[in-house]
A and B are shown apart, each in its own frame.
Chain A
Amino acid sequence: MSPALILFLIVVGAYLAAHVAFEYIGKRLLIVSGAEYILLGVLLGPQVAGIMSADLLKSFAPVTALALGWMGAIIGSRFVLKNMVRVPGVTYRIAFVESAVTLLLVAGAELLLLRWLFALSTPRAVGPALALGTFAVASAVTGIEFAAQRYGGRGPVVTQLRVTASVNLFVAITTFGILLSGNHPAEASSIRPLTTTEWTVITIAIGVVGGALFHLLLGDEERVDRLFISLTGMVILVSGAATYLRLSPVMASMFFGLLLVNTTRRRHEVTAALHRVERPLYFALLIVAGASWRPSAQPAWLLPVFLFVIARVVAKLGGSRLATRLNDMLPVLGPEWGRALLGQGGIVIALAVNYLYQDTLALPNVVFSAAIFSVLLTDLASGRFAASVLMPRGMPGGAEAVATPTAERA
C-alpha cells in the first residue's frame, strides 16, 4: 500500500474516531480526548499492526516538523503583550516560581535516577533529565478554558491558571530549545563549533526574522487568501529552517507567533488562520507519535516513567502551593489551584517527538515513553481536575457537571 494511501486512511480514521466513536465515549466517561489518537498510532505502528512501518514514519518527518512549528506558532500567538501587561505582576511571579520548582524538582529527581539506573555520566544524563523537566512544566490550556467557560471565566483563580499555563508553555518550550542548542552536533563545515548561546540566538532569530518577513510580505494586503499564503509560507520556512539546523522548530515558531501577534493589525485573522490548519496537523502529529513509540531496550525503563508521573504531580501541587505562599496569595487563590495544572496536552507530545528525532541525546525511548504515559494518564482527567478547582462551592458533583472538550490542544 502506498504511503500516501496509508496517510489518507490514517487521517480519515482519526477523524472518524474523533467525531463518532470517541466523542460518544468521551461524553459517557468524561474524558478529555487527544489520548485516543496516540493509541491509534500505537495500534497502527510497528509495535502492533505494523501498518505504519519505520520507513513510512521517516517519510512523514517533514509533516511532523511542520506540525511542531505550527503548534509553536499557535502557542506564541497566545502572548498578546497588550493583554499581558494588564495582569498584576504577582500573578507572573507565582507562575514563574511554580514553573521553576516543577522544572528543578522533576529534572533533579530524574537526573539522580537515570544516573544510577543506567550508569550514565552526569553530562550524559542531563539531557534526558532536563527534557523530562521541561515536559513536566507544560500544562494544558484546554481543560482550564473549558472549566472556566463552564463556571464563569473571571476571578483571580482563573486568571492565575491562565497565566500560569501560558508561562508554563513558554518556559517549557524555551528550555527545551536551549537543551537542543546545547546538544547540537558539530558541523564539519563550520570554522569553530557554535556555542549554546549562539544556537539559541539563531533559533530566536529564525522566528523574529520570519515575523519581519511576514509583515514585509503581507504589507497592506487585505485579502484573506493572501494572508493565509504568507502565513503558511512563513511557518513552513521557519519550521524548515529550524529543523534543517537541528534546532527546535517549536521554539523558533513560538517566537514567530509571538512577534506576529504583537505587531500585526490583523491579529484575529492571523490567529483564526493558524487555528484553521491546527487540527489536521495535530491529528497527524499524535498518530505519528503513537506509531513512533517503542519500549526502551534498557531494563527497568518503567521506573523513570513512574517517577516522572509522580514527581510531576508532587511538583505541580507543591510548587503552586509554595509559590502562592511565598507571594502571600494563599487567602486569594487557596492551596489547591495547582490541581488544574495537572493536564499536559499535545505540546508535550510535540516536544517528545522532537526529542526522539535528535540523535545526540540519550535515552530517547525512555523520555518519549514518559511523555506519552503521562499525557495519556493526565489527559483522562484534566477536565475534572480543572472543574474541581473552578466549580463554585456547594455545586453538587464534579464529574456530572463537566462535559468533555474534544481534541485536546496545547
Chain B
Amino acid sequence: MRRLIILALLLAGMGLILPLGARGHGGQWLLTFGFLVVAADAVGRLATGFRIPTIVGFLAAGVVFGPSGLGTISADALRQLAPVSSLAIALIAFLAGAELRWSELRSRGILILKILASEMSFTFVAVAGTLFLLRSRVPFLAGTDDITAALFSLMFAAIAVVHSPAVTMALLSETKARGPVARTTLGVVLLSDVAVILLFSAVLALLRALSPPAEGAGNGVSMLGLLWEIGGAVIVGSVLGAVVALYLRWVRRELFLFAILVAFFGAEVARLTHVETLLAMLTAGFVAENLSPHELGEALRHAMERSAAPVFVVFFALAGAALEISALRTLWLLVMPIVIARLVALWAGASLGARWAGATVDERRYVWMGLVSQAGVAIGLVTIVAEVYPTRGSEMRTLFLAVLAVNQTLGPIIFRLALSRSGELSPPGGAPSDAASAPA
C-alpha cells in the first residue's frame, strides 16, 4: 500500500512539475534520473511483496513509465540516460570478475566449461530447429529457400544462447547467495559471454559467405577485429586490474570515489580501444581481486556495491523501458515456442552437462534455471546483423526483442526459485548462504 502511495505521489508530482518547467533545459536529465531511481525502487520493493525479484520490479517500472507505457520518461530522456547504462555494465562486470577467485576457477573450471558447452549446444540446436520448423510464419524467413532459412535460423540461435551477467549479479547481490548453484551459474554466465561472441562471429561469417547481403550495408565483424575485441579486452582489463591492485595496496583511501572512477575510466578506455567492455571490466575485477589481499578486495567490492546500487536500479529500469512490448503483442504466437524450446534445451543441456562434469545433485537440478535471463549484449549482436542485412536483420531484431522481453522477465523469477529450492537464499538479515548440496 505504501509503495502504491509513493508511486501515486511521484506521478502526481511529475504531472505538476513537468508543465511548469522548460523541457530541454538543463535539469530534466537529473529530474528523470531521480524519478527513475525512486519509482523503480518503489516498484522493485512492491515486487518483493509478491516474492518476485526486485530487478523484475525495476524492469516493470521501466515498462510502465517508459515510452511504451505512461510515457513519463520520454524516448529522448532515455537516450540522455544511456551513459548510466554504460556505467552500470562496467560496475556489474567488475563486480562479477571480482567474485571469481583463481583457486575456485582451478577447481571448478572444468565443471563450468562442460556445463557451458552442453547447454549452449542444446540451446543453439533447439532454437535454430524451432525457427526452421516455423519458418513459414517467421517474418524474416518466410518465402526464402531452405538453405537461407537454415542460415538465418542459425544466426538467430547464435544470439539466443546469450545469458545475462547483469541479472545474475544483481540477483546474487540481492539474495547474498554464495552456494554451489549460485557460483556455478555465475561462472557459466560469465564465460558464455566470450563463447557467444566467438559463436556469433563464426555464424555471421558463414552467413555472409553463403548468403551475401544484397543491400551491401555494413561491414559486419572481421576476424582481426574480433580477435582484438576479445584479446584486447583481456589485455586492457589486466592492466586496469593491476593498477587497481596497486592502488589498494599503496593508497587504500577514498574507496567509494575510486570505485566509481574505476568503472567510469574502464568503460571509457574499453570504448576508445574498441574492446569488449564487459570482458575488459570482468578481467579487471578478476585481476584486482586475485592480486590484492582479501580484505582490501572485499573493501573495494563493498564500496563498489554501495556506489552501484542507485545505478543498478536505473539500469534495469532503462532496460525495461527499452523492451518492445508492442512487438510481443503481435508476435506472441511465434515467441512462445521459441521461449519454450530454449527453456527445454537449457534444462536438458545444463543437466546433462552437470552430470557429465560430476556436479552435485542441486547443480544438476537448478543451474539451468539461472541461465534463462538474457541481456543487452544480445541487442548489440542483433543490431550488428541488422546493419549487415537491413531488412531481414531489423525483422530479426523485432522478434528477438520480443523473446528478450519474456526471458528478461521470467529469468530472475526462475533463478530466484532455483536459489530458494537449493537452500542458498539467505534468511532476511542473515549471513550469506553457502548451503552445501548433496554430492553427485
B38 adjacent to A225 (CB under 8 Å)? no
In the complex, A202 Cα to B395 Cα: how many Å?
Answer: 48
Most-contacted residue by chain B among A213, A232, A280 (CB, 10 A) = A232
Within 8 Å of chain B (Cβ to Cβ): is A357?
yes
Count contacts on B: residues with CB < 8 A to the other chain: 45
A217 adjacent to B254 (CB under 8 Å)? no
Within 8 Å of chain A (Cβ to Cβ): is B439?
no
B264 adjacent to A4 (CB under 8 Å)? yes
Q: Mark A240-262, 1 if CB is under 8 A from B, else 0.
A: 11111110000000000000000
Set A61, A62, A209, A229: member contacting B41, Cβ < 8 A: A229
Q: Which residues of B contact A233 (CB under 8 A)?
A: 34, 37-38, 41, 310, 313
In the complex, A187 Cα to B21 Cα: how many Å?
Answer: 7
Q: Mark A63-95, 1 if CB is under 8 A from B, else 0.
A: 001100000000000000000000000000000
In the complex, A235 Cα to B310 Cα: how many Å?
Answer: 12
B256 adjacent to A276 (CB under 8 Å)? yes
B261 adjacent to A11 (CB under 8 Å)? yes
Q: Which residues of A contact B35 (CB under 8 A)?
A: 237, 240
CB distance from A360 to the nearest CB of B (A): 12
In the complex, A233 Cα to B42 Cα: how many Å?
Answer: 11
Q: Which residues of A contact B25 (CB under 8 A)?
A: 244, 246
Q: Which residues of A contact B438 (CB under 8 A)?
A: none
A8 adjacent to B37 (CB under 8 Å)? no
Binding-face segment, B5-13, B115-123, B323-331: B5-13
Known contacts A189-B20, A216-B5, A62 near B26 by CB under 8 Å:
yes
A240 adjacent to B22 (CB under 8 Å)? no
A19 adjacent to B253 (CB under 8 Å)? yes
Known contacts A8-B264, A61-B26, A238 near B306 by CB under 8 Å:
no
Most-contacted residue by chain A among B28, B38, B306, B309 (CB, 10 A) = B38
In the complex, A191 Cα to B38 Cα: how many Å?
Answer: 30
Count contacts on A: residues with CB < 8 A to the other chain: 51
A190 adjacent to B34 (CB under 8 Å)? no
B31 adjacent to A8 (CB under 8 Å)? no
In the complex, A357 Cα to B264 Cα: how many Å?
Answer: 26
Within 8 Å of chain B (Cβ to Cβ): is A399?
no
B257 adjacent to A279 (CB under 8 Å)? yes
Within 8 Å of chain B (Cβ to Cβ): is A15?
yes
In the complex, A245 Cα to B19 Cα: how many Å?
Answer: 10
In the complex, A47 Cα to B261 Cα: how many Å?
Answer: 27
Q: Which residues of B contact A216 (CB under 8 A)?
A: 2, 5-6, 9
A237 adjacent to B34 (CB under 8 Å)? yes
CB distance from B427 to the nearest CB of A (A): 13
Query: CB within 8 Å of B: which of A183-228?
Result: 187, 189-190, 194, 202, 209, 212-213, 216-217, 219, 222-223, 225, 228
In the complex, A153 Cα to B233 Cα: how many Å?
Answer: 55
Set B2, B31, B264, B271: member contacting A237, Cβ < 8 A: B31
Within 8 Å of chain A (Cβ to Cβ): is B429?
yes
Within 8 Å of chain A (Cβ to Cβ): is B27?
yes
A11 adjacent to B257 (CB under 8 Å)? yes
Within 8 Å of chain A (Cβ to Cβ): is B305?
yes
Closest residue to B309 on the A side, CB-wise?
A: A229
A240 adjacent to B31 (CB under 8 Å)? yes
Known contacts A213-B6, A216-B6, A246-B21, A62 near B272 by CB under 8 Å:
no
Set B17, B22, B265, B305: member contacting A5, Cβ < 8 A: B265
Known contacts A8-B264, A11-B257, A222-B429, A241 near B34 by CB under 8 Å:
yes
Q: Which residues of B contact A (CB under 8 A)?
A: 2, 5-6, 9-10, 13, 17, 19-22, 25-35, 37-38, 41-42, 83, 253-254, 256-257, 260-261, 264-265, 267-268, 271-272, 305-306, 309-310, 313, 429
Known: A222-B429, A237-B34. 6 other contacts (CB 8 A): A194-B20, A213-B9, A216-B5, A230-B38, A240-B28, A241-B17
Q: What are the 9 tightest A-B residue pairs by CB atom distance, in nearest-first order?
A: A237-B34, A243-B27, A240-B30, A240-B31, A233-B37, A236-B34, A244-B27, A233-B38, A244-B21
